[in-house]
Amino acid sequence: MEISGTTALVTGGSAGIGREIAHQLKLKGATVIITGRDEGRVAAMRNLGFEVIPAGLSYARDVDNLVEALGDRAIDILVNNAGQGVDHDFREAPPDMTATDECIHANLNAPIRLGAALIPRLGEQPAAAIVNVTSGLAIAPRASSPVYCATKAGLRSYTQALRAQLGDTNIRVIEALPPVVDTQMTAGRDNRKMLPEECARQIIEAIEKDRVEANIGMVKLLKLVHSISPALAQKIMLRF
C-alpha cells in the first residue's frame, strides 16, 4: 500500500508505539489524526502539526464521540493501537473490577466498535488498511496479566475472522504483534525491551508490503516455538 497521500487515524497516538507510528506515517506523506488522553502529550503532538482528537476508549460512548468528531473525513488507514493494562493478580490483591472492565473495553471492544463504524468509509478508498495491535501475549499468556492477555487473544481471533470476511474487498486487515516494548506501560519491568521506533518501523513496513501479520522481534521466536509445541510456549510464557 502506498502511504503517501493517505489519511490515517492512530488511536493512542500521543505516546509509545502509537506516537512513533504517527511520526513515521507523517514522514511518509500521510495526514495523521491521533487520539490521546494526556493533556501534555496531546499538546505536544499538536505543536508538531498533528491533528488530535482528545479521547479515551474505555467506554462505548468514547468511541461514539470519536466517530462523531471525525465527521465525514475520509480514512485510508485505521491503526487500533490504544490499549491499557490492569493489575489482576489474585496472588497480590483482589482485582479492581471497574479497571478490569475499562481494560477489556479499551483493548477489545473499542477496536471492534471503531472498525465497525469506519469500515464503510474505508471501503470507499482505492486501498485501505486496518491495523490491530495485539501482542505476543495473544499467542500465549503470562500468569500475572490474565485480563490483558485475554483481550489481546480476543482481538487476535477477531482480526483473523475479520480478515476472512473482508478478503474480497479493498481493505487489508493486518495484525501487529509486538514483543515487550519500552513504553510507559512496561516501565519498571526488567525484561529486554524493544525501542518503540523500531517496533513502529516494522508495523509501517507491514502496511507498505501488504502483509497480514507483523511478528515483531522476539515474537518471531515465540511463534516458532508455538508452532512446534503450543504446550511448551504456554509453559514458558506463563512464567514470563
Domain residue spans in the chain? 7-238
Is 154 in contact with 146 (CB distance < 8 Å)? no
CA dist 164 and 154 (Å) reads 16
Please report, as a single letter, which amino acid is at residue 209.
K
pTM, two decimal places? 0.93
Place of cell 510507559: 184
Q: What angle do CA 149, 150, 154 make, to 5 degrees?
A: 120
Weakly modelled stretches of the chain, pLDDT under 50: none
Q: What is the pLDDT of residue 114?
A: 98
Instruction: Give strand pairing partners of 78.
Output: 9, 130
User: Which class in CATH covers the domain with range 7-238?
Assistant: alpha beta
Q: Which residues contact 206 (CB under 8 A, 6 or more apart)?
A: 131, 174, 176, 213, 214
Active site residues: 148
